[in-house]
Amino acid sequence: MRITKLHIFDRCLLLGAPGIGKTEVVKQKAQEEAKKREREFIDLRDRIPEDVFEKPERYYVFYRVVAPHVFPEDLALPRAHDRFVEFIPPRVLSVLSVPGIEGVLFIDELTNVQRDDQMSMFFSLILEKEAGWMLKLSDGIKIIAAANTSEWSEIARALPKPLRNRMTVISVDPPTVDEWISYMHSRYGDQWDTVTAAYLKANEQDFIKPPADDDGFSAFPTPRSWTNVAIMVHRFRDADDEFIEEVVVGNLGREVGAKLLALMRTRINVAEVLEGLKTNPSMFSGLSVNERILVINAFASVSAEKLRDYQKFVEYMAEHDRDYLMISVMLMDRSKRAKFFGTFTKVMQKVAGDISRYLYG
């Protein structure tokens, strides 16, 4: 299942590659459920409302723990009495155990747990919603776990069979490149470098892939690392080439990084070419692949008011280079895309089949 198609429900285990957005999607789905339940969404890592213990029905809480970082002794602190010792849970766990509270406990990196006592703790927490002598989570708390398989993590260990048998195990695929581009537009606006998106539309096989010859230290591309590159290249756009190379290779690895750098270093007067395409669109076919990608990226950034100036170019692409036309459309944010369709209605009707293929797979 694609990560973007997920629904959240209790005792669910998400298996997939790192960096595909498991945490973000689970949190997003929790926010949506909070809205449906007409409760205030609270990430307990950010704050704990003062009245949550008195008015738990007001809140839908979310808490993420990184499984290898949590140990049995973290779940309760001893407090001595005259004749016995009482174990008091930390405040966050107390919130999760308040009757009437609803929300999600998200346990990340579960297969990377190495100690047996840790795994036993999570075994009890997931199966029975209990930990230690005193702690029992509220029935309204959904437990969702995420994990990497051995293909993606050298330290991944198998989960106990009874645990797997009590959970719904879902193999999660990464988002598509188009879904990633839409996410980048909605999350970061114009604060990211869209050349990365243009590259990926022409090289979708490089969106996520493990290193071919893994030395145990090299970076490799995932949706998360592409996000890092897109943000950092924009933020440091005035930096020298050596620094940009370190950023790109340090996130994507040498193989994919070199290909993106080659695109970024392609020398072409994009503004001049765009001006020429208004009256002589056939000059587009004489450009190299990298030059076309850069020009298409620049065309997608043209203001909505100036789109009509490119009538001949759009008609030419619809006739001769439909793939690049579709790429340019996907590089636009939603409002620009709507303006584009409105401006070139007749042209886009001719390529309706390609639009459906690109937008809906």
Residue 88 pLDDT exceeds 80: no
Q: Mind listing the pLDDT tens digit for each residue in 292-344?
A: 999 999 999 998 889 899 999 999 998 888 889 888 988 998 888 888 888 88
pLDDT category of residue 260 using cuts at 50, 70 and 90? very high
Return the pLDDT at 326: 86
Residue 175 CB-half CA count within 13 A: 22
Q: What is the mean pLDDT of residues 208-228?
A: 86
Tell which residue, 63, 60, 119, 114, has the closest CA to residue 89: 63
If you average pLDDT over every residue of the chain, what do you get?
88
Higher pLDDT: 4 or 313? It is 313
Q: What is the mean pLDDT of residues 263-291?
A: 94
Return the pLDDT at 360: 46
Return the pLDDT at 73: 75
Least confident interval from 96-105, 124-133, 151-160, 292-301:
124-133
What are the φ/ψ torsions at residue 239 (nearest 5 degrees)?
-75, 165
Q: How far apart are CA 125 and CA 72, in angstroms?
A: 11
Q: Mind listing the pLDDT tens digit for each residue in 45-67?
A: 999 999 999 999 999 999 999 99
pLDDT category of residue 351 using cuts at 50, 70 and 90? low
Q: How far apart are CA 190 and CA 169, in angstroms?
A: 37
pTM: 0.83
Count the neighbouring beta carbons within 10 Å of the beta carbon of residue 272: 9
Which CATH code of 2.40.128, 1.10.3470, 3.40.50, 2.60.40 fits the domain covering 3-171?
Answer: 3.40.50
Q: What is the mean pLDDT of residues 203-218?
A: 83
Residue 307, classed as helix, strand or coil, is: helix
What residue spans define the domains of the chain?
3-171, 193-265, 268-361
Q: How far apart are CA 21 and CA 183, in angstroms?
A: 11
Count the neighbouring beta carbons within 10 Å of the beta carbon of residue 262: 11
Residue 184 pLDDT exceeds 70: yes
